Homo-oligomer: A and B are copies of this chain.
Amino acid sequence: VSSLRDVAVRAGVSPATVSRVLSDSAHPVRDDTRERVLRAAIELDFQPNRLARALVTARTHTIGAIVHDISDPYFGEIVRGLEDAAHLSDYQVFACSSDRDPDRELAYVRALLSYRVDGVVFAGGGIENRTYEAELSRLLRSFGERGGAVVLLAPHSVRAPSVTVDNRAGAVEMTRHLLGLGHRKIAFVAGPPHIRTSGVRLAGYRAALKEADVIHEPDLEAPGWFTSEGGAKAVSDLLARRPDLTAVFASNDVMAFGVLHELASRGIAVPEEVSVAGFDDVQTAAYLHSPLTTVRIPMYEIGREGARMVLDILSGRQVQSRRLPVGVVVRASTAPPPGRRR
C-alpha cells in the first residue's frame, strides 16, 4: 500500500520525478535516475493509484457498456469484443445489464458518469420511451460536452457514431431465402416491442413479403421477447391459430432455440415439416442437432470496433459510423415446405 511519495523517498528523488518515470511522460529524466526510481518502485511493489491519477488527468481509462443482459450470448460476444480491444489500450470495461428497463438503464448511465468513465457504449437496441429518451440524451449531451465518447452498437434514438449492421437487410435476406425455398406461410417471432432492433427486423420481414407480393398476415406475427421461453410460447400460439405455417423466422437465435424445442416436443420435424430460421448466429447455433439457418451478425467485431471507436474519439480522431456486413448462413434447419419437396 505504498504511494508514489514512498517511492520518491526511497529513490531519493522528488515525487514529480517518480511520476515522470512511472507514467512515462515526455519530460526528460536522466537514465540512472530512472533506474533508481524503477528499482525503488519494484522493491516497494508499488501500484499506482489510478483514481488519483484520473482525478488530475480527467481520464479514467474505463468504458461503460450498457447491455440488455450479459448472460445473453449475443451480448456476451459483444462485450468480449469490447473488452479485448479495450484491454489492448489499457482500458477496462464496466458491463451493465439493464434488462431493457428504462429506469435501470438510466440509473446505470448515471452511475457510469459518476465514475467518470471516458466512454459509454450502448450495445443493445434503444428503448422506445419518451421520458427515457429525453433524459438519456440530456445526460449524454453534458457527458459529450466534457469530452466523453458515446458509441452505439444498435439502432438507437440517441445520436452518436455507431457500429451497426443492416438489421433490416438481414431480415429481408432471410425472408427471401425462405420465400425462395417456396414458403408462403412464414411466421415471424419478434423481439420486445419497445426495443428499436425488434421493429427494424420486423420491418425487413414485412418488406420482403411485400416485395414478393405475398400478403402480409398479422396473425403470422408473434412477440417472443428475445428469450427462449418467449420463442417457445410464440410458436405454440402461432401453431394454435395458424396450423398451416411452414416456416418460422425467429428474429434472434435464442428465440429460435425455443422454437426448435417446442416443435421437437410436438413431434414436428425440422426442416421437413417446418423450417426454422434465426438471427445473430450465436456460438451454439451451429451446434444444434439441426444446425440453425440464421443471419450472421459479427458480434465480436461489433464490440471490438465499438471500443476502437471510443478510443478514436477520445484521442480526438475523426470517426465515422460503420456498417458491418450481415449475411444469411444456410444450415440444416431450413428446407422447402412439405408440398414443394421434389
Contact = CB atoms under 8 A, between A and B. Distances in A.
Interface of A: 1, 45, 47-52, 54-55, 60, 62, 69-73, 75-77, 79-80, 83-84, 90, 92-97, 110-116, 142, 145-146, 228, 232, 254, 257-258, 260-261, 264, 270, 283-284, 286-291, 300
The 6 closest A-B pairs by CB, nearest first: A289-B289, A257-B287, A71-B76, A71-B80, A261-B287, A1-B146
Contacts of A77: 71
Contacts of A113: 47
A17 to B, nearest CB: 20
Contacts of A260: 287-289
A51 B116 contact: yes
Contacts of A93: 94-95
A71 B79 contact: yes
Contact of A69 (B1, B48, B54, B80): B80
B114 A50 contact: yes
Contacts of A62: 115
- Give the number of times this chain occurs in the complex, counting copies: 2
A148 to B, nearest CB: 10
Contacts of A258: 287
Highest count of chain B CB atoms <10 Å: which of A54, A69, A71, A110 = A71
Contacts of A95: 70, 79, 83, 93, 95
B47 A55 contact: no
A215 B114 CA distance: 61
Contacts of A84: 97
Contact of A52 (B55, B79, B228): B55
A286 B232 CA distance: 12
A110 B47 contact: yes
Given A1-B145, A60-B51, A96 B116 contact: no
A333 to B, nearest CB: 10
Contacts of A286: 228, 261
Given A55-B55, A83-B96, A92-B94, A71 B283 contact: yes
Given A114-B49, A115-B51, A290-B289, A94 B97 contact: no
